[in-house]
Structure 1
Amino acid sequence: MNLRERINEHLGKIYQGVDLIEAKTLFAKLLIEDWQIVNRQRVNEQSTYLITYGDSFYDGQRAPLAVLGEVLEQKLPDFTDIHLLPIFPYTSDDGFSVLDYQKIDPVLGTWADIEQLAQRRRLMFDFVCNHISKSSDWFQRFLRAEPDFKNSFIEFDAKFDTSNVTRPRTSALFHKYGTKQVWTTFSEDQVDNNVRDPKVLIRLTRILMGYIQRGASSIRLDAIGFLWKASGTTSMHLPQTHEVIKLWRTMINNLAPNVQIITETNVPHAENLSYFGDGEDEANMVYQFPLPPLVLHTFISGNSAKLSRWAETIHPISESATYFNFLASHDGIGLRPVENILTKAEREQIVAQVRAHAGKVSYKSDLDGNDSPYELNINYSEALGSTAKMIAAHFILLSFIGVPAIYYHSIFGSKNDVQAVEETGISRRINRERLDMHTLFAELELDGTRKMIFEGLSKLIAIRKQEPAFNPYGEQKILKLGEAVFALERSYAGEKITAIVNISDKVVELGVTGFDLISQSEFFGNLPAYQFVWIKSKAE
């Protein structure tokens, strides 16, 4: 089949009747537009993502995007990819209530700044496709009942059964705007796009492809699981949502090979993995959401059993799909992904530690009418409680199969921004502090915590990128060396690395020896508390 036929096949699984006819017509017109073929470099063992806002760094003179460029050049030479959290004008939620998908927020800079960054590093754009600001032109045209926008959002319908809808927030599902009540998954300011209308899907598709034309090498699909709604269902992970992603994957494979689609679905593990499709036809990467709470649990308990047991279920997906691994991000640490991995008591232990370390706990509404912990808002270093544990935790991240992504506050050893939470009442602000570049650079020399974490993580990243065994499409085998350590083997193209970390506060003696890439010396089996080794050998 040619590209148009394949797209029509996808559309036939999304729409029916007159909607299908309209969708096929709209996509036929889209395909004849002058799309420049883009061929990006494939991700490999050198790939490491930095997660950052466009204005995470400032110097009081230049546009923040220009300052970010200097931070990358001066301090982060081994980060290959930059995940830019929403860079568009917005009205709330620190960028996730987008006013205009196609403009750069003038506070950050211009498209020229983005293009300059794209010449130095691969960029990941955040596509907030599920919802848009109530102040956006799209929603205002809907409120005015303009013909092309009259079905662009989801109005309340008494016949539509919402009793089973999955809720990530405790706010109302519908909010009123003039005479209309509209579906709002996340907040009154964020109205959900209605992709049941083919006009909405074509608009979103055009934006997606436009991002690639403007320099994106990866596209993060924010909150994608909520995209399609259907009466009587959870309106989460529905087949039509998966088919939309498959449609986009088909287009990208043909028009922009190696551009990565990364799905963000903070849900139980099995549901998350469903976004790989058959391994070749849907997401290139899925967020490894169980990893942050599991690693945290491992260091709190001093026991690697649960992490090892879960890790044994993680296998290579395909030659074009792998895992997007992280420990911290602009959001908090999600607990839903470990609902079927950790016991309630183990999850409560994590919650207690976060509260004891000045963190915040966010709740969601359950179908039974109760509220349950949904997200832990805290700096990851503060959650762990020590510099040594922070570096050891990132050793696990950098060893694990997939592509590692590190939050800017993690690489720079930041602390909780309690003042921001107190001033705004927004729990997520605890880990979103903007950093003065000159002050940061000075503190990386003078502040012991910043310096130790920054240098420790930077050293590991620099070593990792030299080793083919860490290829994200390679093999992984979990080793059982005792509950005081977490150990695995990574292998690819005849190379093998054994990664071992002591997650306890006591020295462990292991029956393992070999050359350690980190210390550049022979390892004889004695591993102090929170220390680690990468032992290199040839794969059998």
Structure 2
Amino acid sequence: MKNLCLEQHLASLYHGSELNQAKDLFNQLLKEYNKNDFKETTPCTQETVYLITYGDSFYESGKTPLQVLKEVIMEQLTETVSDVHLLPMFPYTSDDGFSVTDYLEINPSLGNWQNIEELAKEKKLMFDFVANHMSKSSKWFEYYLNQEDDFENAFVTWDPSFDTTYVTRPRTSPLFHTYLNKEGEERQVWTTFSEDQVDVNPKDPKMLVRLTKILLEYVRRGATSIRLDAIGFLWKESGTTSMHLPQTHTIIQIWRQILEQYVPNTQIITETNVPHKENISYFGNGSNEANQVYQFPLPPLVLHSFVTGSAKKLSQWANEIQTISETGTYFNFLASHDGIGLRPTEGILNDAEREALVERVEENGGRISYKNNPDGTQSVYEMNINYSEALKASGEEHLTPKKMIAAHHILFSLIGVPAIYVHSIFGSKNDQKGVEESGINRRINREKINQTELYHALSSDDYRKQIFKGLSDLILIRKNETAFDPYGCQKVQHVHPGIFSVIRESKNERIASYTNVTNQTITIKITSGLDLISEQFIESELTIEAYGIVWVKEEVN
């Protein structure tokens, strides 16, 4: 093997004959590809904005969902969105796409690879790589159950000597489930998330190479970003939590190294819904692991700010967020297809503050999902609700769109790359019918919308219209300002308990951002400059109305 760094990584995962096998298999794999197989891509800039969406978030009679999605993006979001995060678009059996049966086939109910190629001509794409687990109905798992050649150890089999006492996971279902092969023989397999989702085994070099080939195929087929779903659970070791183990980090480093060899600037984005310190560990040394890390504390902390009318906790946390490197930054978001996680607030919010968020969510029609703890207890894992509905407060419901815009003003101001969930930018509300019909809490924020009805609502529904226009206007301003470079500088200002303020600076441009998280008018002293939102020059005193937002572009000598 010519690549010494890759060989060293493999040596930290495997030993003896398994190491030799891993070297040979990776050599064979990498010979299958060359740089000409891939389309070049460019780095992230202040113009980078991701849209998080399912392939079938929209529908229209006579068209495939992927065709409709492209139309909605090109007709409504072409000036604002640069990248499209396609949530799992492959055949699946449960969990709204996250129980994949075939990594390389497009779900025929969505469309086909040609639809993906057409969208990739217009926008950069992020594919979802569900690398930790597959559907029990997948061919790979069938091969494993029947112990076919090369698949004997492809999934994590129950071992009586393996100590699972400290295993941590966000589910209350059994850790192992039993499956029958065609001969009626039983095999017990590790299932982090559900009986239908069986965990792959990267301790088998053959399986790790298979997964690596999928990664390369995704990039070859148009992905400029790869989201590694639930990646923290990938490697299991007896007597540990089997989360965030060094071997998992090593695998991501291998993937980063290989992608940089073929397609520099491809973004690896890790999805680990855990406390901040564990989350940012996926940056590695800043340039050898994830390019972007999901900023999971942001959604609950922004919500906390508006619920309490105080930006203190958000400011304290943001004060610790600094530049990572020239190639590493944060994937900032407020809402996604999942709920608002509370684990990331550990060490930031206290129990009473977390309980206040739970109460607000329940008051506004949301649902609460729980996880099992190693000591046998249960605790809140996430709050399932549309983000605008979470911001709603009794007596000031009419101000909810304004609060939604203010919340995203914070999102757009922070160091990193912003990502907007499809139901946020289009001003959706809770889909109670979806929850009731499915019994799945997360369906509350996964509604499928008719294209014609959406277009009509964007002109006739004041709630949707306000949010859509407000968020779009902010993006259009932001993309022209180099101070919002995702790799630039950030400094939090503590100007008032009710105001979240941060200074962004890059390439001799500086913008001071001010977001009022209260229902009161607040006046503060500032450095004078032009407010990019109102287009008014602000002298030394700034008055911000309830839930008001300001971007002051300051003079830089």
Q: TM-score, normalised by structure 2?
A: 0.96
Matches within 5 A, 1:64-75: 64-75=65-76
Between the aligned residues of both structures, percent identity stands at 57
Q: 1:480 aligns with which of 480, 487, 494?
A: 494
Q: Is the 8 A contact 2:212 2:255 kept in 1?
A: yes
Residue 526 of structure 1 is matched in structure 2 by 543
- Do residues 149 (structure 1) and 122 (structure 2) align? no
Q: How does 1:297-312 map to 2 (within 5 A)?
A: 297-312=304-319
Correspondences of 1:20-169 after superposition (within 5 Å): 20-35=19-34, 36-77=37-78, 78-169=80-171
**1:57-98: CA deviations, max 9, x gaps?**
111111111111111111102100000000100000000000
2:421 matches 1:441: no
For residues 247 and 404 of structure 2, the distance between their equivalents in structure 1, rounded to whole angstroms, comes to 40
The residue number in structure 2 matching 1:206 is 213
1:443 CA displacement: 0.2
Q: Output the CA distance in 1 between the equivalents of 2:179 and 2:131.
A: 21
1:516 pairs with one of 508, 525, 531: 531
Paired residue for 2:222? 215
| Deviation of the 1:4 alpha carbon | 2.6
**Equivalent residues of 1:38, 1:255 under 8 A apart:** no
How far apart in 2 are the matches of 1:34 and 1:204?
Answer: 15
* Distance across 2 between alignment mates of 1:365 and 1:73: 43
Find out whether 1:358 has 2:357 as its counterpart: no
Q: CA–CA distance in 2 between the matches of 1:306 and 1:204?
A: 40
Pairwise CA distance, 1:382: 0.1
Amino acid at match of 1:533: V
The list of structure 1 runs, each at least 4 consecutive aligned residues, that deviate by more than 6 angstroms after superposition, is none
> Separation in 2 of the partners of 1:472 and 1:535?
18
Check if 1:371 corresponds to 2:378: yes
Contact 1:53 1:87 in 2 (8 A): yes
Equivalent residue number for residue 470 of structure 1: 484
The amino acid of 2:503's aligned partner reads E
Distance 1:187 1:511 in 2: 54
Paired with 2:354 and 2:535, the residues of 1 have a C-alpha distance of 38
Q: Work out the number of aligned pairs and report it.
A: 539
Which residue type is aligned with residue 405 of structure 1?
A
Counterpart amino acid of 2:52? Answer: I
Q: TM-score, normalised by structure 1?
A: 0.99
CA contact (8 A) 1:54 1:65 kept: yes
> Is the deviation greater in 257-266 or in 364-373?
364-373
Counterpart of 1:174 in structure 2 is 176
SS at 1:480 equivalent? strand
Amino acid at match of 1:537: E
The one-letter code of the counterpart of 1:359 is G
The alpha carbon displacement at 1:6 in A equals 2.2
Deviation at 1:3, TM superposition (A): 6.2
Counterparts of 2:311 and 2:444, CA distance in 1: 28
**Aligned pair partner of 1:498 in 512, 515, 532:** 512
Following superposition, the deviation at residue 331 of structure 1 comes to: 0.2
Paired amino acid for 2:219: I
2:92/2:135 contact within 8 Å kept: yes
1:488 deviates by 0.5
1:38 Cα offset (Å): 3.6
Q: Is residue 347 of structure 2 the alignment partner of residue 340 of structure 1?
A: yes
The offset of 1:5, in angstroms, is: 2.4
Superposed displacement of residue 32, structure 1: 1.2
Contact 2:341 2:383 in 1 (8 A): yes
Among 189, 196, 199, the alignment partner of 1:192 is 199
Amino acid aligned to 2:247 = Q
Residues 496 and 524 in structure 2, CA contact (< 8 A), matched pair in contact too: no
- 2:416: which partner in 1? 402
Alpha-carbon distance between aligned partners in 1 of 2:387 and 2:442, rounded to the nearest angstrom: 12
Distance in 1, matches of 2:376 and 2:118, equals 50
Matched position secondary structure for 1:148: coil
Q: Deviations over 1:435-488 (max 9, x none)?
A: 101100000000010000000000000100000000000000000101010000
Q: Does 1:290 align with 2:290?
A: no
For 1:86 and 1:539, the matched residues in 2 are separated by 45
Please say if residues 3 and 251 of structure 1, whose CA atoms lie closer than 8 Å, have aligned partners that are also in contact.
no
Q: Does 1:9 align with 2:11?
A: no
Change (3 A) 1:84 1:3: farther
CA shift for structure 1 position 413:
0.4
Q: Given residue 460 of structure 2, which amino acid in structure 1 is its aligned partner?
A: L
- Measure, in 1, the Cα distance between the counterparts of 2:357 and 2:542: 31
1:120 alignment partner AA: E
Q: Once the two structures are superposed, what CA deviation does each residue of 1:245-276 show, in whole Å capped at 9, x if it has no partner? A: 00000001110100000000000100000000
CA contact under 8 A between 1:491 and 1:539: conserved in structure 2? no
Aligned to 1:271: 278
Structure 1: unaligned runs, 5 residues or longer: none
For 1:288 and 1:177, the matched residues in 2 are separated by 37
1:39 CA drift (Å): 2.1
- Partners of 1:349 and 1:427 lie apart in 2 by 20
Question: 2:529, 2:555 within 8 Å by CA — same for their partners in 1?
Answer: no
Following superposition, the deviation at residue 18 of structure 1 comes to 1.3
- Post-superposition CA distance 1:264-305 (Å, at most 9, x none): 000010000000000010000000000000000000000010
| Equivalent residues of 2:38, 2:219 under 8 A apart | no
CA distance in structure 1 between the partners assigned to 2:2 and 2:219 by the alignment: 18
**Which shifted more, 506-515 or 423-432?**
506-515
Give 1:419's aligned residue: 433
Shift of 1:31: 1.5
Partners of 1:221 and 1:196 lie apart in 2 by: 18
- Where does residue 254 of structure 1 map in the other structure? 261
* Distance in 2 separating the partners of 1:437 and 1:159: 54
- Matched letter for residue 518 of structure 1: I
Decide whether the 8 Å contact of 2:135 with 2:196 is kept in 1: yes
SS class of match (1:89): coil
- What is the CA–CA distance in structure 2 between the aligned matches of 1:103 and 1:23, rounded to whole Å? 26
| CA shift for structure 1 position 367 | 1.2
CA distance in 2, matches of 1:40, 1:68: 23
Deviates more, 1:507-516 or 1:286-295: 507-516
Quote the offset at 1:388 in angstroms: 1.2
